Structure 1
Amino acid sequence: MSREKRPAYFRFFLEACDLISILDVESAGRVIQAVSAYFSDNIEPRDLSKNERTVFNRLGRDVDKSFSDYEAAVTYGKQGADKRHGGRKS
């Protein structure tokens, strides 16, 4: 998905901060980098420890939810525009 046609952010809840805080600094950094790569380029990490993978999986669900919400908003926006403008092409 191109960067123009995707969400610009994802929610980073307090629960995520709590999860990251239980990791040591090096592990937390690997998880943050993995989440960044997943959000930016849909790259799944391969080399995370069990604890890092657990935290990544939880944060990855928030990323996935952001994409789902974005796609729904785009779909609803198109439907609303079609209703308002009668499906005309500009």
Structure 2
Amino acid sequence: MKPPLVTVLFALALVAAVAPAADQPNIIHIVADDLGWKDVGFNGATDIKTPNLDALAAGGAKFTQFYTQSMCTPTRAALMTGRYPFRYGLQTIVI
């Protein structure tokens, strides 16, 4: 006799619920206005002290290949939409 579909689905859901969750990475995305490439210690700054950012960079991944618009509005819109600024026409507008 075949078990009803509801019983099979319930059993699968129960197994999935009690299975150990995979370790997910903690992701921190820092957006700063007027921060230059060499304004943080992990990129070579000597006159500006950034010990907390240096510690985060030492213990995590640094992404060094990226694109950003020179103004804040296109950058914010790109972060929210996942599209390049020229795709939605906010290259020169400050909101």
Higher relative contact order (CA 8 A, sep 6+): 1
Larger Rg: 2
> TM-score w.r.t. structure 2 length?
0.21
> TM-score w.r.t. structure 1 length?
0.22
